[in-house]
Amino acid sequence: MSALSVRLPSSPHDRAHDRAKREGISINQLVSSALAEKMSALLTQEYLEARGRRGDRLRSFAALAAVPAVEPEPADRLPSKAPKRLQPTKARRRSGTSKGPGTRLRG
């Protein structure tokens, strides 16, 4: 275990203190947990970006084409009046460098 001294403005420190108190943990535990969550998110992003760079679009389409066209099992079927957000939509091309949802992986 190692020590880290961090200087915080009083407002975030006060909020962290209040949150830690409500959670029944120390500020150290709160900050350690928050840092672990952030590091996990960053590492996951790096991992997914690396996997995306290794992807091969043509091989992906070939694999999908090899899947037989069969009806889903009754338990896997969507209701006939599925909400709009669950109905399939046409894929739209996106351009730019956005890293948000819908960003295409190039490969």
Residue 53 is predicted with a pLDDT of 93
Q: What is the pTM of this model?
A: 0.53
pLDDT beyond 70 at 90: no
Stronger pLDDT, 19 or 90, i.e. the higher one: 19
pLDDT beyond 70 at 5: yes
DSSP states of the chain: ---------HHHHHHHHHHHHHHTS-HHHHHHHHHHHHHHHHHHHHHHHHHHHH--HHHHHHHHHTS---PPPGGGPPPTT--GGGS--------SS--STTPPPP-
**Per-residue model confidence as pLDDT tens digits over 25-84:** 999 999 999 999 999 999 999 999 999 999 999 999 999 999 999 998 999 988 877 566
Q: How confident is the model at residue 107 (pLDDT cuts 50, 70, 90)?
A: very low
